[in-house]
Amino acid sequence: MTDSTPAELDRLATAAAAAFAATAASTDAERAAWLRAVATELDAHAHELVAIADGETALGETRLRGEVARTTGQLRLFADVVEEGSYLEAVIDHAVPDAAPPRPDLRRMLRPVGPVAVFAASNFPFAFSVAGGDTASALAVGCPVIVKAHPGHPELSRRVASLVSQALAGAGAPDGVFALVEGREAGVALIEHPAIAAGSFTGSVAGGRALADRAAARPSPIPFFGELGSINPVVVTEAADAARGAALAQGLAGSFQLGAGQFCTKPGIVFVPDGSALESALPAHVGSAPHRLLTDAIDRGFRAGLAHLAAVPGAEVVAGRAADDGIPQPLVYAVDLDTFATHLETLSAEVFGPVTLLVRYGSAADLPAVLARLEGSLTATIHAEDADDVTPVLDVLAARAGRVLFAGWPTGVAVTWSQHHGGPWPSTTSQHTSVGATAARRFQRPIAYQDAPERVLPAALREGNPLSIPRRVDGALRLP
Amino acid sequence: MTDSTPAELDRLATAAAAAFAATAASTDAERAAWLRAVATELDAHAHELVAIADGETALGETRLRGEVARTTGQLRLFADVVEEGSYLEAVIDHAVPDAAPPRPDLRRMLRPVGPVAVFAASNFPFAFSVAGGDTASALAVGCPVIVKAHPGHPELSRRVASLVSQALAGAGAPDGVFALVEGREAGVALIEHPAIAAGSFTGSVAGGRALADRAAARPSPIPFFGELGSINPVVVTEAADAARGAALAQGLAGSFQLGAGQFCTKPGIVFVPDGSALESALPAHVGSAPHRLLTDAIDRGFRAGLAHLAAVPGAEVVAGRAADDGIPQPLVYAVDLDTFATHLETLSAEVFGPVTLLVRYGSAADLPAVLARLEGSLTATIHAEDADDVTPVLDVLAARAGRVLFAGWPTGVAVTWSQHHGGPWPSTTSQHTSVGATAARRFQRPIAYQDAPERVLPAALREGNPLSIPRRVDGALRLP
């Protein structure tokens, strides 16, 4: 029994609230140093961490080693973001005494919201877990973090938490700035604790919705940033299939089987022309699953999802083998567009694991009306040739996705200034991203200072721009 | 009976969804022209509108004429914001094929979320009503708007809506881009309608919470931006009172009586030193209420609030007269700090109307612990002298307010790039502002284009920066 007790949770949340005074007063340079210290510590222990993670997740050393690098790169990106200073959104309007009515001196910036509850995911035991993007972005802006560990990798969670705490302490971060809790009850108590100012989550629709509802129902509601489920539709045009159907088959096969299909960005539905080269070439690239699924619950969900697909009249397996020796095998189903339209709700439900669905269309003109019935996704992908008019498909997909790809496959999520990992419900619960530089804004709130004397202003808003950051002054954006 | 029927609501929401395709495709210049056309139309009819408004609200011609100017100025500010282009938050990261893993070309911007439901307020029949800040900021970014009229000024709402519709049509905006609905049931149906993508609200805590709960409980939850209640604490230091207590009394009296105390930014609690010059000077500036309250419900709420204040042992009236000839009269109550701390919940509840509460303190050192028990507010004000150490009070107030003032009074809310009108719960339901340039962001969501060919990219993200807007390129912010 390792579940955090209510008393322990309360103690940690209270400590986080106490730490907030110090983190809110810390400088950008200090917090950048905290993040880089955590990155250095994790990199130094990568070998040990990968071994623990592989024992608990079976994801394999290569994938896990890459994920550690991604995670520490992410911590360093947020250090850069903080030092660059635009994230503060400093805006200064000097007084205009002659205006009617007279305008005061008014200066706005973003400040940290307070302690953040981070609910870790199972499928990225590093990048979306204890020291993942939510933790990095919250710490970056000055919010203490309490992580609810995912039960799929408890030993790894504890070891990472221990290294994070050690690195933060060594870099001078205040006591209470970071903690880990375990257990379902502790997670619920966490999102409902008065000291918590915001929540973030990566996981299932059911789990995310339950926590979102609790966050909204608190006596004092708090923002909740959940990344839930996503089907990630792909459209392949006739011309693209004719030009490179075989290569697309190889790419698709790699993407939907990656990590045994346990990516929230897995391409779940692929619209292909009737008789596509892609479909013909696909079986050669659908192999054996490399490993078991992450948890028993995911395994059960995968089998249930396959059963739902198999029960749809006209659905057929076109690649992979139904054989099952305990490790679920990759499968590709196919239906025609009419069948898909008829059974859209069943066929567009996310199945977490190594399966994807081809939907064969006769005329591309029939696609937009069907695509318009899909729920929101994190991504949508269009494989087309230069001569294709993709506008009708793009318009409907861009309205339903947070990222639209025109090459490659959605499973890769670059951690950059420009990334957006989010989308309309149910892919996320808000308009914000959980990957990339602007993820930090989730944990900030604006504050405006009116007619404040220079001595009380935060450095970001002082007249001489002592932090040398981009600011908007009297309506004009200015670089330092 | 003027309530919108369910069929009418459904027709309008469906029309808004249809209009969204056109508004999302419109250019910044086109939408700026729509906003300016609305401003011109309202200005041209200001005389007529003010007369209707005064008949329905009794707020008086001077105040209402100023509010029309504020409202049309606000529409024009959002036209400027759209043309300046930073609101799109364009970020471009070029491909880095040599990176491990290789980085794709990734370009992010903000896009409109979809049709917005705007719930109008009673206390600003222009600036926070049919053509107010929520409507202006939603239209600015390309979202159709359906306004739920406030029953406190129905004729004005209809006339303004008619002028807005006329101006938008004249400026070439699509059919369905704007509509007005009336009635409580229509409002509930509106926030629950599947075509609505976001809601915004200005009003009471009870009303806002009810709508926020419905927005969160939808099968497909939507963001809801509510501005609810606020007590707006003020702290006057001993030195400030000694230096200018009489002037502060005059300022406070003007602020809490403005519009008969019906501002969400009314200073509701004023911490003053024992035996303050402010308190001595105050009675001379507390006069007769200029007019009745906005609605019967507000009148009832005001009387109930006064009864709660009067029932607190030790609470005394120090300015104003309790006489009441149907028009509630301005009143100032006072208590000592211990009494306030003992009855904090009762004494810090917002009373909408012309009343404020002085809290007399012996030692400023006792203030932070009491201030820390206040709920979130839109504003907090500190009147201090240069030699005062305001840090302890500022720290606790800045954590509980969206705007902190060091001169003047909070009732004035400048409409500028730097303004923030929002604050911790219950003053608002989110981290966003409902006044100022960044209010537009409430109605936008990010989208990232990966490896998109130039021909399908929105103009904001094309290589040559055809819109000449500020963008972040490969990590560096660049001005056009």
State pLDDT tens for residues B55-98: 999 999 999 999 999 999 999 999 999 999 999 999 999 999 99
Q: Measure the CA–CA gap between A218 and B152, rounded to whole angstroms.
A: 31
Nearest CA in chain A to B399: A113
Nearest CA to CA, how far is A101 from chain B (Å)?
9
Q: What's this model's pTM, rounded to 2 decimal places?
A: 0.97
Of B41, B56, B182, B227, the catalytic one is B227
List CB contacts (< 8 A) between B66 and chain A.
101
Instruction: Calculate helix-pair angle for A46-57, A28-44, nearest 10 degrees.
Output: 70
Q: What is the pLDDT of residue A291?
A: 84
Q: Is the pLDDT of residue B1 over 60?
A: no
Mean pLDDT computed over every residue of chain A:
96
Of B143, B182, B264, B279, the catalytic one is B264
Map tokens 């989730």 to a residue. A442
Q: Which member of A394, A405, A451 has the closest CB to residue B408?
A: A451
List CB contacts (< 8 A) between A426 and chain B.
220
Q: Is the pLDDT of residue B288 over 90?
A: no
Nearest CA to CA, how far is B326 from chain A (Å)?
32
Q: Which member of B408, B416, B456 has the closest CB to residue A390?
A: B456
Q: Do B450 and A390 touch (CB under 8 A)?
A: no
A264 is catalytic: yes
Q: What is the pLDDT of residue B323?
A: 60
Q: Which member of B216, B390, B412 has the closest CB to residue A456?
A: B390
User: 3-state DSSP call for residue A253?
Assistant: helix
Q: Which member of A101, A425, A448 has the closest CB to residue B402?
A: A448
Q: Which member of B86, B107, B406 has the closest CB to residue A418?
A: B107
Q: Measure the CA–CA gap between A7 and B12, rounded to whole angstroms.
A: 52
Nearest CA in chain B to A397: B447
Q: How big is the A-B interface in CB pairs under 8 Å?
A: 205
Q: What is the pLDDT of residue A324?
A: 62
Mutate to test the interface with B, among A80, A431, A474 (most CBs of B within 10 A): A431
Nearest CA in chain A to B220: A425
Nearby residues of A280 by Cβ (< 8 Å), 6 or more positions away? A245, A246, A249
Map tokens 């001077």 to a residue. B62
Nearby residues of A400 by Cβ (< 8 Å), 6 or more positions away? A233, A371, A372, A374, A375, A376, A377, A380, A423, A424
Q: Do A431 and B395 touch (CB under 8 A)?
A: no
Q: What is the pLDDT of residue A325?
A: 65
442-461 in chain A: CB under 8 A from chain B: 444-453, 455-456
Mean pLDDT of A393-400: 97
Q: Is A106 on the interface with B (CB under 8 A)?
A: yes
9-38 in chain A: CB under 8 A from chain B: 21, 24
Q: Do A416 and B103 touch (CB under 8 A)?
A: yes
Nearest CA in chain A to B17: A399
- How many percent of chain B have pLDDT more than 90? 95
pLDDT digits (tens, 9 = 90+) for A193-206: 999 999 999 999 99
Q: What is the pLDDT of residue B365?
A: 97
List CB contacts (< 8 A) between B424 and chain A.
445
Q: What is the pLDDT of residue B271?
A: 98
334-353 in chain B: CB under 8 A from chain A: none
Q: Is B388 on the interface with A (CB under 8 A)?
A: no
List CB contacts (< 8 A) between B417 and chain A.
91, 93, 472, 475
B146 forms bridges with which residues in the sheet? B117, B179
Q: Do A420 and B223 touch (CB under 8 A)?
A: no
Instruction: Calculate the alpha carbon distances from B366 to B61, B316, B474 in Å.
Output: 44, 22, 51
Nearest CA in chain B to A390: B456
List CB contacts (< 8 A) between A375 and chain B.
220
Q: Is A383 on the interface with B (CB under 8 A)?
A: no
Q: Is the pLDDT of residue B324 over 80?
A: no
Q: What is the pLDDT of residue A288?
A: 81
pLDDT digits (tens, 9 = 90+) for B385-442: 999 999 999 999 999 999 999 999 999 999 999 999 999 999 999 999 999 999 999 9
171-230 in chain A: CB under 8 A from chain B: 212-213, 216-217, 220-223
Of 3.40.309.10, 3.30.559.10, 3.90.79.10, 3.40.640.10, which CATH number belongs to B233-405? 3.40.309.10
Beta strands in A342-393 (DSSP E): 355-361, 377-383
Q: Do A407 and B220 touch (CB under 8 A)?
A: no
Q: Is B404 on the interface with A (CB under 8 A)?
A: yes
Mutate to test the interface with B, among A450, A451, A461 (most CBs of B within 10 A): A450
List CB contacts (< 8 A) between A455 and chain B.
386
pLDDT digits (tens, 9 = 90+) for A284-303: 999 887 788 999 999 999 99
Q: Measured at the alpha carbon of residue B164, what is the angle toward residues B162 and B165, in degrees to the nearest 5?
A: 65
Q: Do B212 and A216 touch (CB under 8 A)?
A: yes
Element containing residue B403 per DSSP (H, E): strand B401-405
Q: Do A103 and B416 touch (CB under 8 A)?
A: yes
Q: Do B406 and A432 touch (CB under 8 A)?
A: no
Q: Measure the CA–CA gap between B6 and B380, rounded to whole angstroms.
A: 42
Q: Do A448 and B91 touch (CB under 8 A)?
A: no
Q: Is B464 on the interface with A (CB under 8 A)?
A: no
Q: What is the pLDDT of residue A346?
A: 97
Q: Which member of A84, A221, A418 has the closest CB to residue B93?
A: A418
Q: Is the pLDDT of residue A323 over 80?
A: no
Q: Which member of B86, B420, B449 has the closest CB to residue A477?
A: B86
Q: Do A403 and B448 touch (CB under 8 A)?
A: yes
Mean pLDDT of A246-268: 96
CA quadruple A297, A300, A305, A311: dihedral, nearest 10: -160
ipTM of the complex: 0.97
Q: What's the helix, strand, coil split of chain B in %, to 5?
A: 45, 20, 40
The CATH class of the A6-228+429-478 domain is alpha beta
Instruction: Quickly state the pLDDT bin for B325 (edges 50, 70, 90).
Output: low
Whether the bond into A102 is cis, omega within 30 of 0 = no
List CB contacts (< 8 A) between B383 and chain A.
none
Nearest CA in chain A to B450: A405
In the structure encoding, which two tokens stand for residue A60, read together?
């394999």
- Domain range list for chain A: 6-228+429-478, 233-405
User: What DSSP line would sit under B245-300, residue for residue?
Assistant: HHHHHHHHHHHHHGGGG--TT---EEEEETT-HHHHHGGGG----SS--SSHHHHH
Mean pLDDT computed over every residue of chain B:
96
Q: Which member of B86, B103, B449 has the closest CB to residue A414?
A: B103
Q: Which member of A106, A220, A394 has the closest CB to residue B418?
A: A106
Of A41, A264, A279, A350, the catalytic one is A264
Mean pLDDT of A249-272: 96
A454 is catalytic: no
Is B77 in contact with B426 (CB distance < 8 Å)?
Answer: no
* Nearest CA-CA partner of A364 in A241, A231, A232, A247: A241
Nearest CA to CA, how far is A396 from chain B (Å)?
10
Of A41, A56, A67, A227, the catalytic one is A227
